[in-house]
Amino acid sequence: MLGMIGGLQYQARAAARAAGFTFVGIILVLIGSGFLSAALWMVIEVDYGAITATALIGGLYVLLAGLCFLFANIRPRVRVPVAPVAGVPSPSPSPFAAIAEGFAIGMQAGRAARTPKD
């Protein structure tokens, strides 16, 4: 039960982080679109000057928004500790380990059957 709660907390944190970056990205896209629209209007009306600066600022905001969208999709590589469930044996890591364990148990049973019991 403890592991499930930890997993839910991790998912909630990841979703909140993604939502936050997405919200900031949307705001930056809106700001960038405003600057780019103003820059396009100025380019059409006048040739060069302050227009280049406005276009660069708008481009910068759109670039920052794109980075925020990329960061929203990055999941941190954090392992959530999961408490072992009592009473349930953990599964063998590989089929070879199960075969080796079965062989060892059989060897012990054979030796116990051969030796006389006093």
DSSP code string of 23-54: HHHHHHHHHHHHHHHHHHHHHHHS-SSHHHHH
**CB of 44 closer than 8 Å to CB of 32:** no
pLDDT single digits (tens) 5-25:
777 888 888 889 999 999 999
The model's pLDDT over 40-69, given as tens digits with 9 standing for 90+, comes to 777 766 766 777 777 777 787 788 889 988
Q: Tokens at residue 44, please? A: 């059409």
Asked if residues 29 and 84 have their Cβ atoms less than 8 Å apart, the reply is: no
Q: What pLDDT is attached to residue 78?
A: 74
Which of 60, 88, 73, 84 has its CA nearest to residue 19? 73
Using the predicted structure, report yes or no on whether residue 27 has a pLDDT greater than 70.
Answer: yes
What pTM was estimated for this model as a whole? 0.41
Q: Where are the domains of the chain?
A: 2-84
